[in-house]
Each structure stands twice: as C-alpha cells, then as structure tokens.
Structure 1
Amino acid sequence: MHTKIFDLGTQSVKIETGLIAKQANASATVDIDGTVILATIVASSEPNDRDFFPLTVNYNEKTYAAGKIPGGFFKREGRPTEKETLISRLIDRPLRPLFASTYNQEVQIILTLVSLNPEIDPEIPALIAASTVVKLAGLPFNGTLGAVKVGFDNDQYILNPTSTQLATSKLDLTVAGTSNAVLMVESEADQLTEKQMLDAVNFGHDNMQIIIKAIDELIAEVGISQQEAKEPEDNSDLYNLIKSSYGEKISSVYQIIEKQERYEKLSLLKDEVIKNELNEEEDNSEMISKVFDNLKKDIVRERILSGEKRIDGRDSTTVRPISVQTGVLPRTHGSALFTRGETQALVVTTLGTNKDAQIIDSLSGRIEDSFIFHYNFPPYSVGEIGMIGSPKRREIGHGKLARRGVQAVMPTQEDFPYTVRVVSEITESNGSSSMASVCGSSLSMMDAGVPLKAPVAGIAMGLVKEGDRHVVLTDILGDEDHLGDMDFKVAGTATGINALQMDIKIDGITSDIMETALNQAREARLHILDEMNKELSTAREDVSEFAPRYTHMKVDQSKIAEVIGKGGAVIKSIVEQTGAVIDINDDGVIKIAASDQSKSDHAKSIIEEITAGPQVDKIYEGKVAKIMDFGAFVAITPNKDGLVHISQISEERVKDVKDVLSEGDVVKVKVLEVDKQGRVKLTMKGVDQNT
C-alpha cells in the first residue's frame, strides 16, 4: 500500500493505492477532509477497429456516503442523476485529449463517492482520483492531470472553496490541466470581467501543481512504467498522392457555405477517392478514409492560418448573421426564435407557482429549485434520423451550461415569486447551439415578463494553432469545432461574464491566447446583445395573460392555523372552491396564484373572512352542512359553521327543518351573535335569498 498526503490550501488531501479493488488494472482512493472517492480503471487488452477512442467515465454517488438510505420502494440507487452525469462529463473532458492519439483500446473509469463531507464538493477529489488511476494503470498518457476549484469573494481568490464559501462567492470555477497547460475550465460567475476570469484560471493552474507533483511522486514510489504509445502508421505516400490528385477539389468543396450541400459533396468525393485508390488485395479502404479525413483537416486549418476566408466566407472575428423574433408562439408564456447562421434555437418560457419547483433529493439534503432549464437536441436539427427518448449526456451538459449563462441575472423569489422553466429546442445546428440557447433563453424570459437584471448573450470561440502560428476564431461552425484545437464558450452581459467553458485539445495554449480569446469574445458578445436589444432589451411590463398571476396578503401568525385547518382541510377547501394555488409562509405571508385574477380575488376574500372571524349583522353565503331537528348548521367560511335555529329559518312557522332545507343547499344568512365560546348564531329572516 502506498500513500501520499499533502495540504491543498486549508484542506488535507490523502491519495492511497494498493488496498481496495486490486483486480482492476489500477485503483486508488482520494480523501479531501472526509469526502472520499474510490476510483478504478480497467483497460481492454484487445485493440478495437473503431475510429474513435472508447473511453467511458462513470461517476456515481452512494447514499451511504452521507449516512442515508435511498428513498423509493427498492431502497437502492437507480439511474444516474443529473449531477452524476455532469461530473462524469467534467472528468472525461480533460482526460480524453491526454491519451495517445494511436491508443484506441476500450477503457472504463469508475469513480464512486463513498464518503461525503457536505462542505467538500466531490468534483475535485474525483478528478484527482481519475488522474491517479490512469497513471497507475501505465496507459500511454501525455502528462499528469491536476484540478482545483476557485472561488472569488471580497476581491480575493479562494482555493477549493467550501460549500459555505461558495454560497457567497461570485465565482464557481473548476480548472484542470497539466504542469504546463490548462486543458479544461467549467465555471459560473456573477458578471466578472475578462481579467478577473483569466486571473482565476491562472490562479487555479498555479495551485494545482502540488497535486501533479504528488501524483508523479506516488507513481515513482509504486514503480509504474508507462506503456509506449504505438507509432502512427506512415501513410505519407498515400497522403501525398491523394493531396496531389484531390487537394484542390477538397479545398473547393470547403468554399460551399451551406452545410448539408457541403457534407453531401464531401461524401461523394470521399467515395470517389476510395473507389479510385482502393487496393482490393490489401483492402485499404479504411486507411484511405482516414487519410482523406486528415487531409480535409489540414486543408481547412492551413487556409485559416494563411489568413484566407473561413468555410462560410467570414474573417476570423465576424459573427454570423443574426435573426431574432419574440412572441412566436401565441399561447405560451414567453417565446423566442434565435437564429445565428445555420444554428437556430426555439426557446420557450413557462411560469409556474412554488408548487411547480423541482425537488432534488441530493446527498446534502432536499433542494427546491425554482429555475429549471432543459435543452433538447433532436436529430432533425442536423438533418439526421435518430432515436427520441431520455436526454443524453450531451443534452444534459449543454442545458447546464446554458443555465449557468443566465443564472446570475435571474430575479430573486422575493422580486418574482414564480417557478421559471425554460426549454430550448434546437431546430438547426451548425455550431454553438448551447450559446444560441443562452441568447434565446434571455429573450424568451424577457418576453414572459421575467425581470432579468440584464440581457445575456453567448458566443463560442475556436482556435487553430500550428507551432508559433495561431488564429482565434469567433463564432465557430461545427466543422471548425471538430477540426480546431479549442472550444471556448463565453456567456455574459454587457457588464461581465456569467459562464465560461473551455476545452483544449493540445498543449501550449498560453495565457496570452486565452486573453485574446476572451477579449475577442467580449466584442462578439456586445455585438450579439446589440442585435438582441433591437427586438427586446428589457422584460415586458406584465406577464402573459395565460400565466398565473400572484396576489400577496399578510395575516397574523396566530391565524395561520385557522387558514390551514385541521389536516389542511380549510386550505384544500379554498383551493377547490377557487381553483387558485395558495402558498403560506411561516411569517404569515400568503401568496395566491391563478390564471384568472377573479380567482385570486375570491381566494383572498375567503381568507380575509376566515382571519377576521364572523361579523355580527354581516350577510354570508354558505352551504348547509348538517340538518338537525332544532335547526341547520351552515358553513359561512371554510373553517366556521353557524346555527340557524328552526325559528330563524323563515318568517312563517317551520314544523320540520327538512321541509325547507336540505344538506348541500346554498343559502344566505346573517350573523346574529357570536358568543364567548365562538359559537355563531345565524338567521335567514329578512335576508333576500334571490339577490
């Protein structure tokens, strides 16, 4: 067994291997102040013939880690939660580019949360654990991965902030990288400047070096030797042949602006190359396909580096044409259609009450989330046929990123007591659909009357780098994302950044390049905001006529029990009578919501009658609740009945109450008296039953 212990800021980190899960290729535990991750890795010994690296990262949380038993009938953990999916993606992103490009054996990394300190986010120990087991397995891996979280409060950066510190922090940033490069950034911020964000990334990279050093020392102590990466096949002769024969044709196809037409022409050209260059004896069709793809990539990259126009004719800093429409769906609460080039998002906002808030049972406790963001990516958006079902990892991740982009400008529950659900339907996609969702969600919510602090726009940046030459690209296409070296997404207001996500595929991205990308992104963001503001720059003054409308009232805290009633009977009765949704706070504030104002007013008047109590000489309309020999009990409010004595039913003598009244009859009565015990005497005499 081997152990490494070191301090990371104010926290203690312990990495241990050789005790648990010894039949895996490698295993380790990482403990940061009581939050413990068990990590395992298994790599197939057989190479596969797929043209991608089959890496799977699964992060899962056990409820026993927090001393809890799962809910539900089966009392065991079920399908991955959204948080587990997001952390799995977070770990996959910086690991994948570090594996040797020629390594394609199947690898599975499983990270299990086995102990939880609620103050320590499992993200960082999970990232450290994943890096450790990859190195312990001796796989061909270029460098050692470290990761930290960064907060920002009182103009000070915080290393690995606790949950308590994050609650007041203006920044929640996770950064991962090697000793000489940042590979991944995921963050949510409250309108921080470009410099503050860049300094946070650099602060994180500087402070992760102790983690990288500790892992390297542990590997040396264990005595692990790393596998040599397989040398790539030498296809230079075939590459040069295809380039000389078809290079100009490929280059001309990449001047076709329309994506589907371009893809169709490339597919036909590829088939032509394979047909003409195929050696049937060697069956080299797969090799030809790979060489063709490499040549495509090189041609596009060289054109960009040489200063030529991009695929769609733009220069490196121009944003694609933007079209904005709001209120496109007549019966929804808010809607927007945001189009940027060949990327389009139809974004819809729905307003609900507190009862509609999403309840999340996390290991740290139950959370009621009043802001819900869903992102859908149907196959038709890229002209394909595909399965429709539960959201995939990518959809969950993009939805979370888009939500982060607008979270900082959302109003408080005190200012806007609605549950807000935003759904982004990607109807066309050619790059940066998550950032289109940010723009569309800002417009859609303002169309719904949500008082955002400021409009928000998002932009995706790219990078092409060869040696000392590099070009930062604004508003990248899908092809530029695939063929480039960086995917850099920034969302924010005119004031600052709300969300930053960065994935880098190569070493050597300097702080200067990141600064250029951030500044270029700011110019693009301001341009997009200008285009959006032409359509809608602030929230509409009122919510949709189809949305619920809130009425507020306050009652004495001593009266709350009367409004609720035994077992909730009174409040249920009011809801049934009026159709309103009623939420009662412990401080006596009552929020009444209904799509029709008259329903809210009706509910409010009933509550006012309950809290005021029966008023002598006041006329009430109530339902006959019970017939007795001596009279009838009438419910004048949901929590109060009164007695109409047989002598008070009519001016004429009544022999039998049942001759005049039946249970369920609605009658008008006047209060004669309320005695010291709270009993109410009623009369129907002199009360017009017809008005």
Structure 2
Amino acid sequence: MSEIKSFEKYRKYETTFAGRPLVVETGKTCELSNGSCWVRYGETVVMANVTASVKPREGVDFFPLSVDYEEKLYSVGRIPGSFTKREGKPTDKAILTSRMVDRPIRPLFPKDMRNDVSVVMTVMAVDPDCSPEIAGMLATSIAISISDIPWAGPIAGVSVGLVDGEIVLNPTLEQRGKNHLNLTVAGTMEKIVMIEAGADEVDDDTMLNAIKQGHAEIKRMVEFINGIKSEIGKPKFEFESMEVDHDLFDAIEEMVSEQVKEALDTDDKNVREARLQPIKDAVHERFDPEYPDGAAMIDECIYKLQKKIVRNWLYEGKRVDGRSLDQIRPLAAEVSLLPRVHGSGLFTRGQTQVLSVVTLGPVSDSQKLDGLDEETEKRYIHHYNFP
C-alpha cells in the first residue's frame, strides 16, 4: 500500500501589500529546484522557480541569467485561439515583463559568477485588481532569497499610479482606467534599483513623491522577505570565481592605455574599431604565451580598460565622440522614400538610422490577441525589426 506523501517543508507566510492580502507558500512544489514559491496576491497566483547549474559555463564573459515570465490563458479562464488550442509563444507583454524582472535582480548576482541561472515565473490565476507582473517580481525575489544561489537581494517592486491627483500604490483595474502615471519601482532596503514609467505630464515633485512612497512600501516588503529568508533560507553555495586576473589587467593597462584613449577618441564607430584592432592584436601577441588558455580573459581586460577610460572621460564632462554631455548627434529626416506604399520615412541620428513604413488597412485586419488582458484585438500594430 502506498504511503501518503507529507510536505514537511511546507510553510505559509501572510502579510498585506498595498492594502491587499498577500500569501507566500513554499515547500510543496518543485522540490528539485534551488528555490520555489507561490505568491497569492488577492486572487492572483504566480509560481516562481529558480535553478542554477553546478558548474560555470565555459567560454563566456557574462553572467548567463535567463528570466521567463509565462502567461497561461487558463489563468483568466480562456482557451487559446490557435488551431491546436495549445498555449503559444510568449506575448510581447510577457517578454517585456521578463525584462522588467531581469533588470532589478541581475546586478545583485556576483559579477564574477558564470553558473547558469534560470528564473521561470508562471501566471496561474489572475485577479484584474492585483498585478501578476508585480506578484511575479516578488515571487522571484523570494525564490532566489530562500535558494542556495549567491545573491545580494532581496528586492521588491511596486506599481505606483496617480488617480484624481492622489498617489495610489498598486492601482486596481478601475483606477488604472483613469490613471495619469504608470510607474513601476523596484528596490532593496537601501536604494532604488529600477524605475520604469509612462505618464501624462507630471511635475518633478509629484514623480519624486511617487518614487518615495513606492520605496516605503518596497522596504516593508523586503523586511517581510528577509523574515522568510532567515527562517527557511538555504546557505549560499561556493562558486568558481571568473574574476579577471588583476595583475594581467594592470599590465595591459600600462602597455596600451594611451593607445586605447587615442583609438576611442572619434565619432566614427568604424574608425574606432579599425584603430582598436591592431592594439588588440599586439596585446594578444604579448600575453598569449604567458596565458595560453586566457584569450577570453585578455579580451575582457581590454574591454574593461575601454570602459574605465570612457567612465573617466564622463567624469570630466567628455564623451567618446567629443560631444558635451548635453549635445546630441547630427539629425536628418526624410519622407516619401518609397513609391506606392502608404507612407515612409528615414530618420538619421549620427550613424544610427531608422526606416519606417506605414500601411493602412480595414478594421478586419486588426490583430487578434491571445493574452491575459481584457483587450482581444489590436488595431495599431507596431513591429520593430533590427537587421
């Protein structure tokens, strides 16, 4: 006879968030992940799972973090509209939410860590008055905090609105309909680490007050997460540091610092790259015999040297291409480049160009949407293609 499984590690924590109940559950699902939790905010439910590789990824000079926000149409009681009736690829909004969560958590991981880390947020139920995006950010912070993955968090995030002249935290669906400020703030106990905003005209004092009120609620939630972490958080694992060799960096800086400054001092990207290439070749010729397996580290040292030089220039009020801090690149605009299309235009800023083409169509051409929002079609469709 089979035994009934018990969940001895199950824990439940409750608080309020912007005046609405918030419940955190952990220890019942996804036991093989490094950290996992469910966040119930009102009747919104988001599960977050975080997993890390045991060994660092070879041959990369960046921290390999992936963040995925997965919307499930069952969370709003809707069947997918595709022929197969299966959940499809992420919507644009889901991708933007993934990035919104990525931005505040990424800088808090060790800069010299190269272990793969995967964060997956799954929206399981949606209460229109309680943002699943904000719930997902909280769930991610909790999952990483209680895991054994090294991280300098926790963080928390809050949505701030301006309704009838009053600042509102995590506005409801009705309030969002007459909102003049759509501000998302994320931060730690000490500081703000991410701001994303869209708004009607809002004066500086109102915006600053909105950020401060948001941070006050963030600090309260961070304190709540720290309480969970202190009770069930795992010890952080030791990782193999991929920090660059400081002696190597100092030697490269001494060898080519002045040459790199001269190479960078131009407003033409092609000229800059052409100037840098022989410098890179000379550095490799000098240090490859001493560091036979360190080609990637040598390249990273050269890149860090460029960053250091540019940063010092900015402190002096100078930019790479010689412009002052308040000077924009030369601009040009041209319309009606293409015949027969409904509209076209070319905008140029320095060496960056955008070609825009517009097409008008009947209402029947509107895009049908499979998302969590109440909106089911989109009549203004804007596609961005980067060659």
Taking structure 1 as the reference length, what is the TM-score of the superposition?
A: 0.52
Superposed CA deviations along residues 594-633 of structure 1, whole A, max 9, x for unmatched, are xxxxxxxxxxxxxxxxxxxxxxxxxxxxxxxxxxxxxxxx
1:118 aligns with 2:128: yes
Evaluate the alpha carbon distance shift between residue 316 and residue 4 of structure 1 in structure 2; reply closer, same or farther with a 3 A threshold: same
Structure 1: give runs of 5+ residues left out of the alignment.
379-691
- Give 1:371's aligned residue: 380
**1:266 CA drift (Å):** 1.6
1:138 to 123, 148, 151: 148
What CA RMSD, in Å, does the superposition of the two structures yield over aligned residues?
A: 2.0
**1:338 CA drift (Å):** 1.7
Partners of 2:293 and 2:302 in 1: CA distance: 16
- AA in 2 matched with 1:376: N
2:251 to 241, 256, 259: 241
Taking structure 2 as the reference length, what is the TM-score of the superposition?
A: 0.91
Evaluate the alpha carbon distance shift between residue 264 and residue 191 of structure 1 in structure 2; reply closer, same or farther with a 3 A threshold: same
**1:351 CA drift (Å):** 2.6
Larger radius of gyration: 1
Superposed CA deviations along residues 244-263 of structure 1, whole A, max 9, x for unmatched, are 22111000001122102212
Evaluate the alpha carbon distance shift between residue 367 and residue 207 of structure 1 in structure 2; reply closer, same or farther with a 3 A threshold: same
- Give 2:363's aligned residue: 354
Partners of 1:170 and 1:8 in 2: CA distance: 22
Helix, strand or coil for the counterpart of 1:363?
Answer: coil
- AA in 1 matched with 2:213: F
- AA in 2 matched with 1:117: D
**1:129 CA drift (Å):** 0.6
- AA in 2 matched with 1:81: T
Is 1:14–1:30's contact at 8 Å kept on the other side of the alignment? yes
- Give 1:182's aligned residue: 192
- Give 1:156's aligned residue: 166
Deviates more, 1:213-222 or 1:168-177: 168-177
**1:80 CA drift (Å):** 1.7
2:280 to 264, 270, 290: 270
Is 1:100–1:229's contact at 8 Å kept on the other side of the alignment? no
Evaluate the alpha carbon distance shift between residue 69 and residue 233 of structure 1 in structure 2; reply closer, same or farther with a 3 A threshold: closer
**1:216 CA drift (Å):** 0.7
- AA in 1 matched with 2:358: T
Evaluate the alpha carbon distance shift between residue 362 and residue 239 of structure 1 in structure 2; reply closer, same or farther with a 3 A threshold: closer
Partners of 1:228 and 1:349 in 2: CA distance: 54
Deviates more, 1:124-133 or 1:188-197: 188-197
Partners of 2:68 and 2:363 in 1: CA distance: 34
- Give 1:222's aligned residue: 232
Superposed CA deviations along residues 197-237 of structure 1, whole A, max 9, x for unmatched, are 33322322222111111111001011433346766647333
The 5-angstrom pairing of residues 270-669 of structure 1 reads 270-279=280-289, 282-307=292-317, 309-378=318-387
1:93 to 80, 99, 103: 103
Evaluate the alpha carbon distance shift between residue 341 and residue 72 of structure 1 in structure 2; reply closer, same or farther with a 3 A threshold: closer
Evaluate the alpha carbon distance shift between residue 264 and residue 194 of structure 1 in structure 2; reply closer, same or farther with a 3 A threshold: farther
- AA in 1 matched with 2:363: N
Superposed CA deviations along residues 80-117 of structure 1, whole A, max 9, x for unmatched, are 22222221122112111111101110111111111111
Partners of 2:93 and 2:291 in 1: CA distance: 51
**1:342 CA drift (Å):** 1.7
Which structure exhibits the higher relative contact order, with contacts defined as CA atoms closer than 8 Å and separated by 6 or more residues? 2
- Give 2:212's aligned residue: 202
Partners of 2:131 and 2:86 in 1: CA distance: 23
Is 1:2–1:218's contact at 8 Å kept on the other side of the alignment? no
Superposed CA deviations along residues 137-168 of structure 1, whole A, max 9, x for unmatched, are 13221221100111111111110011221011
- AA in 2 matched with 1:362: G
**Corresponding pairs, count:** 377
1:212 aligns with 2:203: no
Is 2:146–2:233's contact at 8 Å kept on the other side of the alignment? no
- Give 1:253's aligned residue: 263
Superposed CA deviations along residues 345-378 of structure 1, whole A, max 9, x for unmatched, are 1222333332222221333445222222211111
- AA in 1 matched with 2:138: I
**1:333 CA drift (Å):** 2.8
- Give 1:54's aligned residue: 64
1:80 aligns with 2:90: yes
Is 1:11–1:32's contact at 8 Å kept on the other side of the alignment? yes
Superposed CA deviations along residues 34-87 of structure 1, whole A, max 9, x for unmatched, are 100011111000111211111111111222222333333322212222222221
- Give 1:22's aligned residue: 31
Evaluate the alpha carbon distance shift between residue 330 and residue 198 of structure 1 in structure 2; reply closer, same or farther with a 3 A threshold: farther
Helix, strand or coil for the counterpart of 1:275?
Answer: helix
**1:303 CA drift (Å):** 2.0
